[in-house]
Chains A and B, each alone.
Chain A
Amino acid sequence: MWRYIAKRILMLIPVLVGVTFLVFSLMYITPSDPAQLMLGANASPAAYAQMRADMGLDKPFIVQYLRFLFGYKHPVFGYKGLVFGDLGRSYITNRYVFELILSSFPNTALLATGALILSIALGVPIGILSATRPYSFIDMVFTVLALLGASMPTFWVAMVFIFFFANRLGWLPAMSDPANLISIILPMVTLSLNSMAILMRMTRSSMLEVMEQDYIRTARLKGLDEGVVIRKHALRNALIPIITIAGLQFGALLSGAVLTEKIFAYPGIGTIMVDAIYLKDTPQILGSICFVAIMFSLVNLAVDIMYGLVDPRVKETKRGPGRK
C-alpha cells in the first residue's frame, strides 16, 4: 500500500511540472505587456528597455520559466520561486501573490467543503432511495430534478437565488463573507446543486448495477435482512465508484467555487483570479491558476489513494489518473 501511495505521488510530479509549464506558456504568449503596465504608455524607449531587463522579460522563455519555478534575484522584482512558495508580487497591488492566495484559499476551501458535504449528504441518500424504488413516482421526481441540476448554469442560478432570497424575501444576504456563516449559505447551496445532481445519479445507477450482481442474490439467499443486504453488501460496493466521483466533485467544486465567488463578492481565490484577469495582472493570474490546478491534482490523488483503501482489489495494481 505504501509503495502504491509513494508511486502515485511520484507520478504526480511530472504532471505538476507540465501544468505549471502549460499555464506559464499561456501567460507568456499573452498580448499584454507587463513592462508597459508598470510604466504607463508614455515611457521612453530606454526606460522601457530597462524595465524589461529588470523584470527579466528580455530573457528567453525557458529561462523565465525556470525563474518562475526556482526564483529570480532582483532587488525590486526578485522572488524565491514557486518551488519555495513564492510567486512574486502583483503588478497592481504590489502584494505577495502567494500570501494573497494563502489567505484567500481557506475561504474557497470552506465554500467547496461545505458544498461537498451538502451534496453528499443529500445526493447519496436520495440516490439510494431512488435505486431501491426504481421507476417509482419518487424516483421520477428526483430524476427530473437531478437532470435540471446537472444542466443549470451555476452563475445564473446564483443570480436567481440572489434575486429571490436576498432581494425579494430578504432572508439571506446577497454578499457573502466567510466571517458570517449565514451569508455563505447561498453560495454553498448554489455551488452544491450540480454535484448533488451528479452524485444522486451516480449513486442511483451504481446501486442499481450492484443490486443486479450475483453476490447480492447470494446475500439474499443466505436469508439476510434486506436492510443488511443493502447496507453491508450493496452499499459497500456501490460506494467505491461514488467515493471516486465525490472526490472528483471536490475538485470540480474547487473550480466551481472559483466561478461562483465573484457573483457573491466572496473573498476567495476565484475572486482573486477573475480580478487579476480583468487587470491583466500576470503573476496573480499565473499564481492563482497554478495553485488551483495543483490543489485539484492533489485532491484527485487523495481520491485515488482512498479508493485503494476501500477496494481490496486495487492494492498494488496501477491505475491511471483518476479522471475520465
Chain B
Amino acid sequence: MDNLLEIRDLAVHYYSNRKVVEAVNHLSLDMKKGTVLGLVGETGAGKTTLALSIVNMIRGPQGKIVQGSLRFNGKDILAMGRQELRGLRGKDIAMIFQDPMTALNPVLPVGDQIAETVIRHEGLTRAQGWKKAEEMLETVGIPGIRSREYPHQFSGGMKQRVVIALALACNPVLLLADEPTTALDVTIQAQVLDLMRKLIRENGTSVLFITHSLGLVAENCDEVATMYAGEIVEYGTVDQVFGRPLHPYTRGLFGSLPRLRDSQRRLTPIPGLMPDPTALPRGCYFAPRCPDKMPVCGEIHPRDHLFEGHRVKCHLYGGNGREAGNER
C-alpha cells in the first residue's frame, strides 16, 4: 500500500469552560500519494482540527489528541519527538490557512518569512534563503523586489499568494489547504486557485483541500470526503461521490448546490443545525436532521459500509454493503 497518510480512529477534544468539545471522533482516513483529497463540511465540523492534528499542532491545555494514530509515510506522527516534528512541519507537510490577513507576521518582511523556512529546512545561508524567497515570490507572480515589504503593503489576494509561496517553498509532500480562498474576493479566488493548481501539478504535491464548495471539489480534486460532527460520513472518488452520493448529508449538500457556481456561499443547506459537539447524540449524529431517518438511527451509531472503495457511514446501507470494520 502506498498510502502517504493513514489516520486511524483519531479523536480530538477541546476543553473549555469545564465542557468537552468532541471536535473529531473516531476518524479514519487514508490519502494516497499524489492525490488531491477534497474535505467538505459545515463550519464547526472539525475540518481545521483534523488538519492541525495531522501536524500534531493541537496544543494544550485547551486541545488534546485523545486517541488514535497518524502515520505519515509509515512513520507515527504522534510518537515523534519535538525535533523530528519540527523537521516535518514546513518541510514535508505545509499548511495554508483560511485567512491570509492574519497568517503572516506583520512586523517581518515577507521575504524574511519565506527565507527563514528554507534556511531552517534546506540549510541555506541567509543570502541564499533570501534569493530562494525572491524566486518563490516570482513563481506566485509577485516581483522579487517586493520581498523586503511588509504584509500590510500587500492586498488580500497577494498575501494569500505569499502564503502559498511560503507553503510551497520547501517542496512539501503534503499540503494542507484549509479553505485557502474563502476569505478572498470571487475574482481573486479563481486566480489563486489556478496558481495553486499549476504549482501542485508541477510538483506532484498531495493536497488535503478543505473547502465549503462542492464546485471547487469537482474542479480540483481526485477524491472527496464529507465531514460531519467530527466524522467522515462519506468518502470516495469524485466520480463515485458526485455520480452517486450515498449519505443523506452529502445528498443534502448536492441539493443545496447553488445554481450559479457561487463558491462564496456557505453550506447551510439542510434544515437544522449540527449537534452541539459538547453533547453529541447517542445514535447517528446526523439523525436529528436526516430526511431518511429510521428508528435505529436514534439508537445505534452507524458503522462504515464499503462499496468498491466508496465508503459511507449510514444505517441505510446496513443490509447491502460489506462493513468496513470487517475489512480492516
Contacts and interface: CB of A to CB of B under 8 A. Distances in A.
B273 interface: no
B105 A222 contact: no
A8 interface: no
B89 A219 contact: no
A314 to B, nearest CB: 10
Given A214-B99, A312-B150, A221 B105 contact: no
B117 to A, nearest CB: 5
A218 B104 contact: yes
Interface string A220-260: 11111110100011001100100000000000000000000
B102 A214 contact: yes
B105 A233 contact: yes
Nearest to B106: A313
Contacts of B105: 215, 218-219, 233, 236-237
Contacts of A221: 55, 57, 89-90, 94-95
B86 interface: yes
B218 to A, nearest CB: 28
B86 A224 contact: yes
Interface string B82-118: 1001111111001101010011111110000100110
Contacts of B90: 221-224
A97 to B, nearest CB: 45
B121 interface: yes
B166 interface: yes
B120 interface: yes
Nearest to B99: A214
B261 interface: no
Interface of A is mostly: helix
B104 A312 contact: no
B89 A217 contact: no
A251 B91 CA distance: 48
In the complex, which of the residues B55, B116, B152 has the most CB atoms of chain A within 10 Å of its own CB atom?
A: B116
A236 B88 contact: no
Interface in B45-63: 55, 57, 61
B166 A222 contact: yes
A267 B117 CA distance: 55
Contact size range, A: 20 to 34
Interface string A92-136: 000000000000000000000000000000000000000000010
A213 B151 CA distance: 15
Nearest to B118: A222
Contacts of B86: 223-225
A234 B163 CA distance: 18
A311 interface: yes
B187 to A, nearest CB: 24
A222 B121 CA distance: 9
A240 B57 contact: no
B89 A222 contact: yes
A215 B152 CA distance: 13
Interface string B72-89: 000000000010011111
Nearest to A134: B61
A223 B103 contact: no
A135 B60 CA distance: 12
B104 A215 contact: yes
A312 B95 contact: no
In the complex, which of the residues B90, B95, B163, B166 has the most CB atoms of chain A within 10 Å of its own CB atom?
A: B90
B107 A222 contact: no
Interface in A248-289: none
A219 B90 CA distance: 9
Nearest to B109: A312
A139 to B, nearest CB: 13
Interface string A157-196: 0000000000000000000000000000000000000000
Given A215-B103, A220-B89, A313 B57 contact: no
Contacts of A232: 108, 116
15 contacts: A135-B61, A217-B103, A218-B97, A218-B104, A218-B105, A218-B113, A221-B57, A222-B89, A222-B117, A223-B91, A224-B117, A228-B116, A232-B108, A237-B105, A237-B106
5 closest A-B pairs by beta carbon, nearest first, are A223-B90, A222-B90, A223-B89, A214-B102, A215-B105
Interface of A: 135, 213-215, 217-226, 228, 232-233, 236-237, 240, 310-313
Given A232-B116, A233-B108, A312-B150, 12 more contacts: A135-B61, A214-B102, A215-B103, A215-B105, A217-B103, A223-B86, A223-B87, A223-B121, A224-B117, A236-B105, A237-B105, A312-B107
